[in-house]
A and B are shown apart, each in its own frame.
Chain A
Amino acid sequence: MSDDSPNEFGPLSLHVPEPAVRPGGEPDFSNVNIPEAGSVRRPPVDANPEEIRDLAFSIIRVLNRDGEAVGPWAGELTDEQLVEGLRHMMTLRTFDARMQIAQRQGKTSFYMQHLGEEAVSCAFRKALSPGDMNFPTYRQAGLLIADDYPMVEMMCQIYSNEKDPLKGRQLPIMYSSKEHGFFSISGNLATQYIQAVGWAMASAIKNDTKIAAGWIGDGSTAESDFHAALVFASTYKAPVVLNIVNNQWAISTFQGIARGGAGTFAARGLGFGMPALRVDGNDYLAVFAVAKWAIERARRNLGPTVIEYVTYRAGAHSTSDDPSAYRPKTESDAWPLGDPVMRLKNHLIGRGVWSEERHTQAEAEILDTVITAQKEAESFGTLHAGGKPSARDMFEGVYEEMPPHLRRQRQQAGV
C-alpha cells in the first residue's frame, strides 16, 4: 500500500472467517449457546412473526440432561410413537453402516451417511400427512425410512442394479418417490428449495390441503436459490416449511463461511417476515414438536416457517472425504447436544418403556432386517457385478416420446 493513500483510516483488510479449532486442537463449542431444555416458550400456532423473533436466536429443546421431557414443547408423542421413532433412527443408522461398508467393498461408487442427524428427518416425516411433499437434500433418507419405504428399493438404487427404480440414471442415494412424498434429489444444491415453494404455491392455487417441505444444509443457504425461495414463500405466503439443517460442516467448510455475520441461520427468515424457529436437531421430541407447529401453521394457510435444526455431522460428508483433515478427530464426541439415538433411548428407559436389554435386542433385529434386505438387493446385482439396467434404458425417458435424433443415436449405439 502506498504511503500517499487518501484513506485517513489506513489500509483495508479482508476478513476470512475461521472455525474455532482445526485438527490437532482441542474441540471447542463454547460459542454454541445452549439454553436449558424446556426453557424456550411455545407461542400459539397463529402467532405474529414479529412477536416471536427471539425464537430465531435460541434453541428449542425438550429432553434435558437426565433424559426427561420438559417444558411447553413436550408431551406430543405417545410411548408407542417414541419407540417407533427410536427404531426408525436405529434402522437408518444400521442401514447407513451397512451401505458405507458396501461402498468400501466396491459394491457402489458413493455413499452418504446421516450419523448424528437421524432425528431430523425421521421425526419430521412423522409430523407430515399423506400427500405432503418433501424436497430433500441427500441427507434426509429418514423421510423414507420413517415412511416405511422398502429398504430393498433404496439399496437397489444405491447399487444401480437391475431393480433400481431409477434405472441406473442417478448417483447412489439420490432417491425419488412421489408415493412417499419424496421429490427426486437433484445432487445440485439448493435448487429444490425454491421448487418446494412452487409446489406449495400450486397446492394453494388449487385450493388443496397439502403442504410442502423444503430442505437445505447450512452451506447451501449461500446459494441464490435459497434467497429466491424465501422471497417467493414470503411474497405468496406459500404453505411450506423451509428446513435448514445446520450440521456445522459443508464438506470441509465450517458453517461460519455461509452464515457470515448473522447470529443464526434461522435469523435469515426474519428479514422476510417469517416465523423462524431454532431447534435442537438431536432431540427427536423437539424436532417433532417444532415440525408439527410449522406444518400446522402452513396447513392453516398462515404461510411459511423457517426452521433451523442445530445438529452435528458426526461422520464424513460422503465416502469421498476424511474429516480428520479439516477438524479435530474428537470434535463429534465434544458436540454438546449429544447423540439423537442415545438421548431418545435414555428417555424411553426413564419412562419405563425401554431397557438396555430391549435396546440390544432391537439392534440385533434391525441388523438382521437390514442384512436380509441387503442380500435380496444384492441378488439383483451391484454396481460392478450381476444384473444391471440395460444400455437401452439410457436413451429412454429423456422425453416422454423419443425424438428422431435420440432414436438414431440409440441405433448407432447398437442397443
Chain B
Amino acid sequence: MPRKTMIEAIRDAMDTMMERDDNVVVFGEDVGFFGGVFRCTHGLQAKYGKTRCFDAPISEGGIVGAAIGMAAYGLKPCVEIQFADYVYPAYDQIVSEAARLRYRSNGGFTCPIVIRMPAGGGIFGGQTHSQSPEALFTHVSGLKVVVPSNPHDAKGLLIAALEDPDPVIFLEPKRLYNGPFDGHHDRPVTPWSKHELGEVPDGHYTVPLGKAIKRREGKQLTVLAYGTMVYVAEAAAEENGIDAEIIDLRTLLPLDLETIVESVTKTGRCVIVHEATLTSGFGAELAALVQQHCFYNLEAPVARVTGWDTPYPHAQEWDYFPGPARVGRAFLETLEG
C-alpha cells in the first residue's frame, strides 16, 4: 500500500471528493495556484480548474461567510484557514451562523462545510502559528470537531467530514504533517514513509466521525489524547515501562464516550493529555465525563497534562510543550495515587 505524508493524504481526500462530487469546492488564502503554504491543495486547481479551487482574499470571516452562502446554495465548500491562530475573525460566522443555520431555519437551510486549519505547535511558530483552539469549537452546539493523528485517519476522516451534512472543524496537527512526533525535538524526525499509519489506501474510504481508536492496549492506566499527543503518550509509556492503554479520540465532538468509559472502567486510572492550555480546555470536559461515568472504578484522581495557561511562547517552546518527560511523570503519579 502506498505510504503518504499527512499533507498528501489530506490532498488525496480533497482530490477524491472533488473527483466524485462536482459540488465540492476548495478555497482559502494561497490555496489556488500555489497550493497552500503547507502544500495541502497543490495541484487541485490545475486538475479541477479555478472555479473549483481558488485563492481567497485575506479575510477569514469572508472565507467562512462565503462558504456558508455556498453551502446554503447546495455546494460542499472545503475551506482552509491558513493557521488555526487566524480563525478568530471567522468565529462569529462559525458560531452564530454555520453552527446554527440548520437549527434556526428548522432544516430549511443547512451548512455542510468543512473548515480545515493547521493547529498545534512544535515548529517554533510562536503565539500566532501554534495554537490549539479545539475547545473554542467543542463548546459550540451544532459543530463537529475532528483532530486526526496520522495520514490514514486524516484522509478517511476528511472524506467523512466532506460527506457529513453539518459543519465540521478539521484541525490538522501541523507537527504531524511530515511524520509522527513523540516530543523529543532534539532527535531526528521519523518520516511517515517509515510508519505503518502512513499507509493510505487509494480512492474512497472513510473513518467515521465520532469513533475513537485504541492505539495501544494496556492495563495500568488509560490515556486520552488526540493529534500530536498520541505519540508523546506512546513515548512516555514506553520510556517509563508503563502498560498504558492509549486512546486516540480522533473526533472530539461528537465524542466516543463508550470507548473511554470502557477503558477507564478497566484500568481505573486516567491521564488526559492535550497541547492546548489547561483552564477550560477540552481535558476539563473529559475529566468531568470520566468522573461522572467511572467514579466507582477510579483508583486515582484524573490527571491532566497540557500546555501552560500562557500564550504559546517562541523561545520557550519546549518548556511549554507537554513533552514525554512531563507526561511520564503524570503517568507515574497516577499509578501511585
Contact = CB atoms under 8 A, between A and B. Distances in A.
B33 interface: no
Contacts of B25: 202, 205
A330 to B, nearest CB: 38
Contact of A169 (B62, B70, B104, B165): B104
B68 interface: yes
Nearest to A200: B69
B49 to A, nearest CB: 10
A235 interface: yes
A199 B97 contact: no
A235 B166 CA distance: 28
B2 interface: no
B51 A205 contact: yes
A145 to B, nearest CB: 19
Given A228-B59, A404-B254, A184 B66 contact: no
A196 B66 CA distance: 7
Nearest to B64: A194
B102 to A, nearest CB: 6
B109 A169 contact: no
Interface in B55-85: 56-57, 59, 61-62, 65-70, 72-75
Interface string A399-415: 11001110000000000
B75 A205 contact: yes
Contacts of B69: 135, 194-202, 212
A231 B57 contact: yes
Interface string A174-208: 10111000011010100101111111111111100
Given A188-B96, A202-B70, A400-B102, A195 B65 contact: yes
A174 B104 contact: yes
A204 B199 CA distance: 38
B57 A235 contact: yes
Contact of A194 (B61, B74, B104): B61
Contacts of B110: 400
A262 interface: no
A193 B59 CA distance: 14
Contact of B255 (A194, A399, A405): A405
Interface string A227-245: 1110110010000000000
Contacts of B51: 204-205
B65 A183 contact: no
B103 A197 contact: no
A198 B89 CA distance: 17
A403 B107 CA distance: 16
Contacts of A199: 69-70, 72-73
Nearest to A408: B257
Interface string B31-69: 000000000000000000001100011010110011111
Contacts of A204: 51
Nearest to B56: A232
B108 A177 contact: yes
B190 interface: no
A275 B269 CA distance: 66
Interface in B290-312: none
Contacts of B105: 166, 176, 178, 184
A191 to B, nearest CB: 5
B210 interface: yes
Contacts of B107: 397
A96 interface: no
A27 interface: no
A197 B96 contact: no
A167 B103 CA distance: 9
Contact of A195 (B72, B103, B141, B255): B72
Given A195-B97, A398-B141, A201 B66 contact: yes
A355 interface: no
Given A178-B109, A199-B72, A224-B61, A398 B66 contact: no
A58 interface: no
B166 A400 contact: yes
A165 interface: yes
B109 A184 contact: yes
Contacts of B144: 399
B96 A224 contact: no
B316 interface: no
B237 to A, nearest CB: 29
A390 to B, nearest CB: 13
A405 B251 CA distance: 13
Nearest to A171: B104
A45 to B, nearest CB: 24
A189 to B, nearest CB: 10
Among A169, A228, A397, residue most surrounded by chain B Cβ atoms (within 10 Å) = A228
B68 A399 contact: no
Interface in A150-182: 165-167, 169-170, 174, 176-178
Interface string A23-39: 00000000000000000
Contact of A191 (B65, B67, B253): B65
A54 interface: no
B66 A197 contact: yes
Contacts of B104: 166, 169-170, 174, 176, 184, 186
A228 B106 contact: no
B188 to A, nearest CB: 41
Contacts of A224: 61, 89
Nearest to A170: B104
A399 B61 contact: no
B235 interface: no
Contacts of B72: 133, 183, 195, 198-199
B93 interface: yes
Interface string A54-72: 0000000000000000000
B328 interface: no
A363 interface: no
B324 interface: no
A46 interface: no
B156 interface: no
B262 interface: no
Report, nearest first, the 10 A-B pairs whose CB atoms are least far apart: A198-B69, A198-B66, A228-B62, A194-B65, A403-B254, A202-B73, A195-B69, A184-B105, A199-B69, A176-B105
Given A178-B109, A183-B109, 19 more contacts: A133-B72, A133-B73, A135-B69, A166-B105, A177-B108, A184-B109, A191-B65, A191-B92, A191-B93, A198-B65, A198-B68, A198-B72, A199-B73, A202-B25, A206-B73, A224-B89, A225-B62, A229-B62, A399-B102
6 contacts: A174-B104, A194-B61, A194-B65, A225-B92, A232-B66, A405-B255
